[in-house]
Amino acid sequence: MIEDNSADVFLIREAIESVKLNAELNVLTDGEKAIRFLESADRDSSIEVPDVVILDINLPKKHGGDVLQSLRRSVRFGTAPVLIVTSSDSARDREAMIKLGANGYFRKPSAYLEFMKLGELVKSMLDAGAASLGS
């Protein structure tokens, strides 16, 4: 998860736990750290590639779009499913992220129960990834 807002990290964890996913979440808090992590992972095969990357757009130091571009250029992370989770409801942001290779887009709602729907979205992305591995 690449997210700088600790309250959103808490809610994302809660949404994932609400659908009974046994997930280990690693959090990077800015775009620069995320890009450095990707570069390290390309050099070090012992670093695990995540099943899903949850990425905020509005990050400190490097924009989420820059992170997504780096991720898609990565040797090891290039095909990892990416779910954009952002407060932006801009059609332009949504189109830009999809064009850069995002697999999904979730606008952070203000209502708790709406936010919890993120858990089902993450679960469906994981299920889709597992299904494609089986075929």
* CATH code of 81's domain: 3.40.50.2300
Q: Kindly report the average pLDDT of the chain as a whole number.
A: 92
Distance CA 133, CA 75 (A): 19
In 3-state terms, what secondary structure has residue 13? helix
Q: Say whether pTM exceeds 0.85.
A: yes
Mean per-residue pLDDT, 3-31: 94
Element at 82 (helix H, strand E): strand 82-86
Task: Answer whether residue 133 shows pLDDT above 80.
Answer: no
The string of pLDDT tens digits covering residues 121-130 is 999 998 886 5
Distance CA 94, CA 100 (A): 10
Q: Is residue 88 part of a domain?
A: yes
Range of the domain at 116: 6-134
In 3-state terms, what secondary structure has residue 117? helix
| Total number of domains constituting the chain | 1
Residue 129: which of 21, 7, 11 has the closest Cα? Answer: 21
Q: Is residue 102 part of a domain?
A: yes
Q: Is residue 115 part of a domain?
A: yes
Distance CA 131, CA 37 (A): 28
Q: Is residue 112 part of a domain?
A: yes
